[in-house]
Structure 1
Amino acid sequence: MRAESTSGEEVVKVLSPWLWPVLVIVSVAAAGAFGPGWALVVVAVAAWSLWSRLRRGDREGSAEPRVVQPLVLGLVEHDGKLLVCEERDEAAGGSVWRPPGGVINFGELAEDALKRQVRPTLGALTGLTAFGAVENHPVVDGRRGHQIVLLYRATLADPARYGVEDLGGARWHPVRDFVAGTEKLRPEGLAELLTQEPLR
């Protein structure tokens, strides 16, 4: 079971009823026994301790929840080339290539999500068939993500689009480069799948 984080406000609620009376008593005792200088030391240490707890509680309480993200991608192949988009992945040390697609919304079928994601740039897709599923762990802005990615073979409904070099940011890239490892393909494990089960 995951322990709930404590926010700064909760720390204040717990400590405020008794913190300052105790500080006054301890400060007076320290001043009587060791002099006024020790009273200031006691107050400073207590204040620093409280400030540290407040900062830690606020930082933990404001952290975004970490969840697994469901994605769906379409594998469109033509003449030995795969339709891919370029993106940055800090874990890979630069640019990587990824087939078009995106996030599956709650309650949405994966095939419907894929068609929705690519329609503005690629138009309609046909012939969708399941190809496999992989896990991916991208790092963006220093944050490590976790994705479950469903992969589908797909065909462009408009044959004329196969002759277009750039389809709204998606480009044709030789599959052999990904299989050989000379170009980085994401999600993780997709290149290995292509060596085991070619798209054609």
Structure 2
Amino acid sequence: MKKAKKKPRIRPLAICVFRHEGRILVSENYDPTKRETFYRPLGGGIEFGERGIDAVAREIHEELGAAVRDLAYLGALENIFTYDGKPGHEIVLVYDGSFVNSSLYGRERLTGREGDALITVVWKPLTAFGPGSPPLYPDGLLELLSSAT
């Protein structure tokens, strides 16, 4: 008997935008199929029964070992994409927030964890994103941030 193929699902995510002196904190990623470097704020999946705001706090703690405060909902984005040749679909709740430990704002580069893998996290100026530059995901985030300031 053949095993049924798993039906693709929409994934609920919550991300946090940390801002400091015109820069935002983003993880640096690479899509090997597209041969493209891209950036996205930290965050991750929302568990069943978990509120988005709680998911953001949990994910930031898991990824950086850092506590957050002053979380504020900015909006939601729908992200339909292809990564490493595979289709993806996300509903992304976007939050603004601050670190409890203010020393994190003075570091150009941080190392975090995504599961068992190490991730590189950097402060990038918002002006570094746009046409001809490595993309910032999810799509629509730059516009959301522009309207939220």
Give TM-score, length-normalised by structure 1: 0.64
| C-alpha distance in structure 2 between counterparts of 1:85 and 1:65, whole Å | 28
Task: Please state if 1:184 is matched with 2:135.
Answer: yes
Q: CA RMSD in A?
A: 1.9
Distance 2:132 2:146 in 1: 11
State the match for 1:74 in structure 2.
16
Helix, strand or coil for the counterpart of 1:138? strand
Residue 64 of structure 1: how far off its partner (Å): 1.3
Corresponding position of 2:72: 129
So what's the TM-score if we normalise by structure 2? 0.84
Bigger proportion of residues as helix: 1
Corresponding residue for residue 157 of structure 1: 100
Find the partner of 2:39 among 77, 97, 102.
97
% identity of equivalent residues: 34
Q: Give how far 1:182 is off.
A: 2.4
Which structure is richer in relative contact order (CA contacts within 8 A, separation 6 or more)? 2
Residues 114 and 135 of structure 1: is their aligned pair in 2 closer, same or farther, counting only changes over 3 Å? same
Kept in 2, the 8 Å contact 1:136–1:146? The answer is yes
Q: Unaligned regions of 5+ residues in structure 2, if any?
A: 112-119
Q: CA deviation at 1:132?
A: 0.9
Q: Distance in 2 between matches of 1:113 and 1:81?
A: 23
Structure with the higher strand share, 1 or 2: 2
CA contact 2:31–2:84 (8 Å) conserved in 1: no
CA drift of 1:140 comes to 2.7
Gaps of 5+ in 1: 1-8, 10-57
* Structure 1 position 183, deviation (Å): 3.0
* Count of residue pairs brought into register by the alignment: 140
